[in-house]
């Protein structure tokens, strides 16, 4: 296979929270590096601040990825701007990628970064639930996008192709009122009730109740994909490995796949062999190099 053929046939590569293996996730540096790496698109997670700004953070709490603590939803944007969201990674940020105080991004901040890429680029927005603002999260994100020039019919903002994702079936159904189904991704993952209950550490009754809600959401998400209510299927790579028949059924029904988080050579080859159209990875440069080298064919175990 020639390099041109490999480029034409390869899956699209989305940088998971930016180039998050290189720099702290969701930071300005991570997204600028993803663009420099040649990623076809970037992925981000959205929470709302107390004053209703959509900010790029995965966790509902600040503890893991900042020097702050407590819920994101309890802080204003101005308060969040005072926190350090990059030092925990232990990587020096090049001057060209901004100061430490500039690493927290709002959704408009990220759109400005992507506008400056100078080429077509994808943006996959994950709406994080449970949210204290419930489905107002989706409404606020759409409101901000419209203020930035988002066109609903094409789901574009200038050079940026926007898609929406959630594990929450309620979020997906709500988005379908405003967004064409081809731009919405139902995320799915395996939920083991016993395992989740133990991980939550909430006690047997509360833990089981929460885990059962999560399992119900998984089953409803799978139904949405079975019934072709949205175009994009977003399973994790472990789900892809362990649910061969389901994956094949969705592929045959015309679902477009966006698989996360694909970081190893083996998993990249598996996705390429299956005909997966989009790969989300923490290592966009490494994955692109592998995809452009040779066409590897791997099949799921039966």
Which tens digit of pLDDT belongs to each residue from 23-79?
A: 999 999 999 999 999 999 999 999 999 999 999 999 999 999 999 999 999 999 999
Q: What are 256's two structure tokens?
A: 């477009």
Q: Is residue 212 part of a domain?
A: yes
Known catalytic residue at 16: yes
Residue span of the structural domain in which 263 resides: 3-48+115-293
Residue 115 has pLDDT above 90, yes or no: yes
Dump pLDDT digits (tens) for 156-171. Answer: 999 999 999 999 999 9
Domain assignment present for residue 78? The answer is no
CATH number at residue 265: 3.20.20.190
* Residue 102 belongs to some domain of the structure: no
What pLDDT sits at residue 297? 45
> Which of 16, 47, 129, 174 is the catalytic position?
16
User: Residue 210: what pLDDT?
Assistant: 80
- Whether 106 maps to a domain, the answer reads no
Q: List the structure tokens of 135.
A: 């489905």
Establish whether 58 is a catalytic residue: yes
The answer for residues whose C-beta is within 8 angstroms of residue 92's C-beta and 6 or more apart is none
Q: Which of 26, 47, 58, 174 is catalytic?
A: 58
Contact 36, 116 (CB under 8 A): no
Least confidently predicted of 2-11, 92-101, 205-214? 2-11
Supply the pTM of this predicted model. Answer: 0.94
**pLDDT tens-digit profile of 148-204?**
999 999 999 999 999 999 999 999 999 999 999 999 999 999 987 777 767 666 677
Mean pLDDT of the chain: 93
Confidence of residue 299 (pLDDT cuts 50, 70, 90): very low
Helix (H) or strand (E) holding 42: strand 41-48
Q: Please give the tally of structural domains in the chain.
A: 1
Let me know the angle formed at the C-alpha of 135 by 105 and 65, rounded to the nearest 5 degrees: 30
Render pLDDT for 268-291 as a digit per residue (tens, 0 to 9). 999 999 999 999 999 999 999 999
Q: Quick check: 237 pLDDT over 90?
A: yes
Cα–Cα distance for residue pair 107/164, rounded to 1 Å: 13
Q: How far apart are CA 295 and CA 239, in angstroms?
A: 23
Residue 153 C-beta-side C-alpha neighbours within 13 Å: 0
């Amino acid at each position: 296979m020639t390099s041109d053929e490999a480029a034409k046939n390869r899956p699209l590569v989305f940088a998971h929270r930016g180039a998050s293996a290189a720099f702290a996730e969701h930071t300005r540096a991570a997204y600028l590096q993803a663009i420099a790496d040649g990623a076809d698109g970037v992925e981000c997670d959205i929470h709302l601040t107390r004053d209703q700004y959509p900010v790029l953070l995965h966790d509902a709490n600040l503890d893991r990825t900042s020097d702050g603590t407590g819920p994101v939803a309890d802080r204003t944007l101005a308060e969040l701007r005072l926190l350090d969201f990059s030092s925990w990674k232990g990587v020096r940020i090049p001057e060209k990628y901004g100061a430490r105080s500039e690493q927290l991004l709002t959704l408009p901040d990220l759109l400005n970064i992507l506008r400056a890429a100078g080429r077509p680029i994808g943006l996959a927005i994950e709406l994080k639930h449970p949210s204290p603002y419930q489905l107002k999260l989706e409404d606020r994100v759409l409101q901000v996008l419209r203020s930035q020039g988002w066109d609903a019919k094409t789901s574009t903002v200038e050079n940026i192709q926007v898609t929406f994702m959630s594990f929450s079936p309620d979020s997906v159904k709500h988005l379908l009122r405003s967004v064409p189904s081809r731009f919405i991704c139902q995320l799915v993952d395996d939920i083991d009730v016993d395992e989740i209950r133990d991980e939550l550490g909430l006690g047997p009754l509360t833990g089981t109740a929460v885990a059962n809600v999560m399992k119900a959401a998984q089953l409803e998400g799978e139904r949405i994909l079975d019934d072709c209510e949205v175009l994009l299927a977003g399973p994790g790579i472990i789900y892809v490995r362990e649910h061969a028949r389901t994956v094949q059924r969705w592929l045959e029904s015309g679902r477009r796949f966006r698989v996360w988080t694909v970081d190893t050579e083996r998993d990249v080859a598996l996705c390429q062999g299956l005909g997966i159209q989009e790969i989300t990875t923490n290592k966009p440069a490494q994955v692109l190099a592998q995809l452009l080298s040779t066409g590897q064919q791997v099949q799921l175990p039966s």
